[in-house]
């Protein structure tokens, strides 16, 4: 999530502090596209990842490296998450994630005061097939 959180990469720079919304976030109804969420890592359950939601249930996703021209259909109550940074380990590696893994939603940047404000609602790439194919359609 480099351009959104912790933009300066110096080792002495302070880490960002964000306000989290924890109520009812395991329900898919409360998760929207482009929400920044904290989720348990599917690879190591004691780690926590920060990712941006890029697809919800029943979306058809074009992964970042479609080596076999494959598309991914997100199952029921699953989401597709990607980092804003191109080098992030995200759903392109471990696939769709169940909403039960979501811990919290990041809503407000608190600490570096020059960036105090709501978490940017844009970042990363668009990967939903229907949006990429019909970009001008209002849905």
Partner 1 sequence: MGIKVMFKDIRRIISLSIRTIAGLHLFTSSMFEISQTEGASMLPTVQSNGDFCIVDKRYKNGNKIEMGDIIVARKPTQPDSWVCKRITGMPGDIIIIDPSRGHIEKMREKFNNIISNDDDCEINKNDSIKENEFNSRFKEIKLNKNGFDRSPYDQFIVVPDGHVWVTGDNLSDSVDSRTYSVLPMGLIGGKIIIGMYLPNWMNFKGEYYRFLANTFHEV
Report the interface residues with partner 1, using CB under 8 A.
Answer: 26-27, 39-46, 75-78, 94, 97-101
CB of 97 to partner 1, least distance (A): 8
**Of 78 and 109, which has the nearer Cβ to partner 1?**
78
CB of 49 to partner 1, least distance (A): 10
- C-alpha angle 72-127-124 in degrees, rounded to nearest 5: 135
**Of 43 and 110, which has the nearer Cβ to partner 1?**
43
Counting every residue written for the chain, the total comes to: 139
Give the separation between CA 35 and CA 120, rounded to whole angstroms: 9
Nearest to 39 by CA among 125, 54, 72, 68: 54
CB of 96 to partner 1, least distance (A): 10
């Amino acid at each position: 999530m480099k351009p959104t959180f912790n933009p300066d990469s110096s080792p002495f720079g302070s880490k960002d502090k964000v306000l989290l919304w924890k109520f009812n976030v395991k329900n898919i109804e409360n998760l929207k596209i482009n929400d920044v969420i904290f989720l348990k890592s599917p690879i190591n359950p004691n780690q926590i990842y920060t990712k941006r939601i890029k697809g919800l249930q029943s979306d058809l996703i074009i992964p970042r490296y479609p080596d076999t021209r494959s598309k991914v259909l997100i199952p029921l109550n699953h989401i597709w998450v990607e980092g804003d940074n191109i080098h992030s380990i995200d759903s392109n590696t471990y696939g769709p994630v169940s909403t039960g893994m979501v811990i919290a939603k990041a809503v407000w940047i608190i600490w570096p005061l020059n960036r105090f404000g709501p978490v940017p609602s844009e970042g990363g790439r668009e990967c939903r097939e229907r949006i990429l194919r019909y970009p001008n359609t209002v849905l």
